[in-house]
Amino acid sequence: MFKKILVPLDLTDKHRPALGKAADLARHCCSTVTLLHVIEVIPGLAVEEDKDFYQRIAQKARTHLEASQGFVSRWAVNAQQEIRYGHAAWEIVHYAADTGHDLIILTAPCFDPNQPAVSWGSLSYKVGVLASCPVLLVK
């Protein structure tokens, strides 16, 4: 079924349900899981211009991805890590397409009918619309 599963993560622990779902699917489908963190590049501040700033963020991301990989590994699933720089939605979609991932699993915000614009502008909505592969949203 799915051979390569991509799980985009920020630096919070709110993604544990998505990680659990990815690990469960990967275990049953003999899939690999890639944990991806995208470091948003600040407009007007290229990575080369403030290497120390971006390196500190990258180190935090590596630490978080290591912990997340440990969580996924409890299911005896092969997992790897990747860090990219750029706009999160575009980087996720392009990375998935360029590397042949056939499923993206990410956390979706709960829809608030009193503030519908918040959900429409979410990362999960953008990835769901732009991705060429299936996207599983976990709430």
- State the helix-helix crossing angle for 123-130 and 88-99, rounded to 10 degrees: 40
The residue extents of the domains of the chain are 4-138
The SS3 assignment for 122 reads coil
If residue 97 lies in a helix (H) or strand (E), which one and from where to where?
helix 88-99
H or E element at residue 100: none
pLDDT above 80 for 112 = no
Average pLDDT, integer, range 22-28: 94
Q: Work out the burial of residue 116: count CB atoms within 10 Å of its CB; fewer than 13 is exposed, 13-18 middle, 19 or more buried.
A: exposed
Average pLDDT over residues 65-70: 96
When pLDDT is averaged across residues 42-63 and rounded to a whole number, the result is 92
Residue 92 burial (C-beta neighbours within 10 Å; 0-12, 13-18, 19+) = buried
Total-model pTM: 0.93
Alpha-carbon Rg for the chain, nearest whole angstrom, is 15
Give the tens place of pLDDT for each residue, 86-99: 999 999 999 999 99
CA distance 14 to 100: 26
Q: What residue type is 24 in one-letter code?
A: D
pLDDT recorded at residue 109: 82
Mean pLDDT, rounded, of the chain: 93
Statement: 4-138 belongs to CATH 3.40.50.620: yes
- pLDDT, position 118: 67
pLDDT at 119: 66
Sheet with 78-86: list strands edge to edge.
78-86, 32-40, 4-8, 103-107, 135-138
Per-residue confidence (pLDDT) for residue 45, from 0 to 100: 83
CA–CA separation, 53 and 63 (whole Å): 16
Residues of the chain with pLDDT > 90: what percent? 77
The two beta strands, 135-138 and 103-107, are parallel
- Band of the pLDDT at 139, cuts 50, 70, 90? confident
